[in-house]
Amino acid sequence: MTSDAEQIAGLLYRYARAVDTKDWELYRSVFTDDAHIDYSSAGAVVGGRDEVVEWFAANFGVIPWSMHYITNIEVTDFNTDVDGDTATVRAMFYNPMQLPGMAEQSACGGYYHHEVVRTPDGWRSRRLREDNVWFVNAPGVP
């Protein structure tokens, strides 16, 4: 049996695979139905899970490839009470990618901040805030 921390790390790895393979049903499975997702630090969408999926499906398909590496996963504030099991997660990410119309590879990095909850289907994120710290070879930047 795997520990809660290992299961939560697996959730983040599944998130990375879903985004990189553009598997939006897999992406949905990472989050609760009422999740709030905030990619505003990267100039992208903020909203509910399904709204974010719609945005990704319309906008992320033009990116030929991306590879998310998620590291330094810290799971803290485990809490078990009458409302269920919850935890706070902070993880670093490194994301090389090929952007449309760009000859050179681009990359960005930063932190993911998740609030996760144990559900009957396992751990799910009910809140994600991306903190994009740096971007190399950003589109539209000379």
**CATH classification at residue 115:** 3.10.450.50
Q: What's the mean pLDDT in 40-63? A: 94
What's the confidence (pLDDT) of residue 104?
93
The alpha carbon of 109 is separated from its chain's Cα centroid by a whole number of angstroms, namely: 12
- Asked if residue 40 has pLDDT above 70, the reply is yes
Q: What's the mean pLDDT in 50-66? A: 93
Instruction: Write out the residue range of the structural domain in which residue 117 sits.
Output: 4-136
Q: Who has greater pLDDT, 61 or 88?
A: 88
In-domain check, residue 113: yes
In-domain check, residue 15: yes
Q: Who has greater pLDDT, 43 or 11?
A: 11
The two beta strands, 84-98 and 69-81, are: antiparallel
- Asked if residue 53 has pLDDT above 80, the reply is yes
Residue 20: name the closest of 74, 64, 53, 77 by CA: 64
In-domain check, residue 142: no
Alpha helices (runs of H) in the chain, residue ranges in sequence order: 4-21, 24-30, 49-59
What's the confidence (pLDDT) of residue 101?
86
If pLDDT is split at 50, 70 and 90, which confidence band does 82 have?
very low
Model confidence pLDDT, tens digit, residues 13-38:
999 999 999 999 999 999 999 999 99
In-domain check, residue 11: yes
If pLDDT is split at 50, 70 and 90, which confidence band does 60 have?
confident
The C-alpha atoms of residue 26 and residue 124 are separated, in whole angstroms, by 12
In-domain check, residue 141: no
Residue 18: name the closest of 4, 37, 43, 42 by CA: 37
In-domain check, residue 59: yes
Number of domains in the chain: 1
- Asked if residue 110 has pLDDT above 50, the reply is yes
What whole-number percentage of the chain has pLDDT above 90? Answer: 78
The C-alpha atoms of residue 75 and residue 52 are separated, in whole angstroms, by 24
In sequence order, the 6+-apart residues with CB closer than 8 A to the CB of 131 are: 41, 110, 111, 112, 113
In-domain check, residue 74: yes
